[in-house]
Amino acid sequence: MERMNYEDIKTADPEVFKWIQKEVEREEETINLIASENFASLPVLSAQGSVLTNKYAEGYSFARYYGGCQFIDQVEKIAIERTKELFNCEYANVQPHSGSQANMSVYFSTLKVGDAFLAMDLRAGGHLTHGSSVNFSGKFFKPYFYGVDKKTETIDFNIVEDLAKKHKPKLIVCGYTAYPRKVDFKTFSEIASRTEAYLLADIAHIAGLVVAGLHPSPHPFTDFTTTTTHKTLRGPRGGIVMCKNKFAKQVDSTVFPGIQGGPLMHVIAAKAIALHLASTNEFKKYQEKVIANAKVLADSLKKLGYRLVSDGTDTHLVLVDLRPQGITGKDTVEILKKANICINKNTIPFDPLSAKLTSGIRLGTPSVTTQGMGEKEIELIVSFIHSALTNRNDDKKLEQIREEVKALCKKFPPY
């Protein structure tokens, strides 16, 4: 990553510089299969390091509480216009600092404290902010959960509708963090309409696939759609909330002043740049490769006897059930760490183990695809994973794999 200039940090603060340098090396020498991560593009990184970080801009474009916003007003306007165009939505607010805050803004726009909503259980593939008891969404509101069918490990819409009829949630949430199959937004919207609930799609994971036209769009089916910008979208760490025009005022006032203060204008500029890059043909080709690589990942794992939740993938991620191998997700993370392969443990549907141990791991292809890796490299990575797990008690072998991983990474520098 020679193109990045950290000399000013080195001079000002050698202690922090040392750890940044270590992280640069880790990212250069590690195969990253964390499905929610990516390498942000250089213009996105640059925008985040720009002077826009200096500016307070509470309020919205052309209606701020501070002077001097005439230029950043334009930046936020561009980010909003690009979101609307790319996602084909009626209204957008680009200020949420994260996906969690984007979701929070929808809950506080639609629900009162104690109101019921229906979402997928975190342990089946949902997200913390979809009603987990340790999260604001589970503390302030009354979540009810659907999961997946035990046999197909996909969503059973009859169960979703039955639960909606029984519990009368004000809001239904779809869109997940560990669900390898396509989400049928249209069917969700039909259930929401029959049960008089609002519909929120959290497309944080699949946003890049959606804008590339490789996953069905949530629009025009949802009332609200939230996303992060740093996953498949390859933008800065942050969130966006989209909605129908009729909810625009509520969403805006919930984001600011409801739950946030000043927007992060340097991040909003980076969001605008990422959205521009996501509108290109090159981005579409990139997303096609992300999905193609995920399919190779799934097929190669299956050939070696690994069991995949739902038997495969339609997206950028696969969920592996490691019970047949007799290894927990937690141990797998540690074993693969020794081989410089970075993954996360993940519960699988009906997991008998806790979220701290887990029976599964989640693997995704956005980062390695950004590096330019293709089918051949994915097959090689699967052979590294298999060899590391088979030889998990052999530190020498794990060291040898680590050297091979480093050699592979050297051929595909992310920057």
Would you name the residues annotated as active-site residues? 56, 58, 202, 228, 231, 237
Nearer to ligand DSN, 52 or 122 (CB): 122
Instruction: Give the C-alpha separation, 338 to 323, whole Å.
Output: 21
> How far apart are CB 100 and ligand DSN at their closest, in Å?
7
CB 348 within 8 A of CB 358: yes
> How far apart are CB 317 and ligand DSN at their closest, in Å?
9
> If binding means CB under 6 A, how many residues of this protein chain bind ligand DSN?
4
How buried is residue 106: exposed, middle or buried, by Cβ count under 10 Å (0-12/13-18/19+)? buried
Residue 37's nearest CA partner among 23, 47, 51 is 23
> How far apart are CB 256 and ligand DSN at their closest, in Å?
22
CB 172 within 8 A of CB 164: yes
- Would you count residue 266 as binding ligand DSN (CB under 6 A)? no
Which residues within the stretch 22-41 sit at the binding site for ligand DSN (CB under 6 A)?
A: 36
Q: How far is CA 135 from CA 128, 139, 141, 185, in A?
A: 6, 6, 10, 25
Nearer to ligand DSN, 101 or 293 (CB): 101
> How far apart are CB 127 and ligand DSN at their closest, in Å?
6
Nearer to ligand DSN, 99 or 169 (CB): 99
Instruction: Give the C-alpha separation, 226 to 243, whole Å.
Output: 9
> How far apart are CB 99 and ligand DSN at their closest, in Å?
5
Among 93, 95, 177, 254, binds ligand DSN (CB under 6 A): 177
Strand duo 116-120 + 142-146: pairing: parallel
Nearest residue to ligand DSN on Cβ basis:
36
- Would you count residue 130 as binding ligand DSN (CB under 6 A)? no
Instruction: Give the C-alpha separation, 13 to 377, whole Å.
Output: 38
Nearer to ligand DSN, 99 or 236 (CB): 99
Q: Where are the alpha helices (DSSP H) in 172-226?
A: 185-194, 207-211
- Would you count residue 99 as binding ligand DSN (CB under 6 A)? yes
CB 240 within 8 A of CB 78: no
- Would you count residue 127 as binding ligand DSN (CB under 6 A)? yes
- Would you count residue 230 as binding ligand DSN (CB under 6 A)? no
Nearer to ligand DSN, 218 or 238 (CB): 238
Q: How far is CA 296 from CA 181, 269, 293, 319, 377, in A?
A: 15, 35, 5, 14, 10
Instruction: Give the C-alpha separation, 372 to 383, whole Å.
Output: 19
- Contacts with ligand DSN by CB under 6 A lie at 36, 99, 127, 177
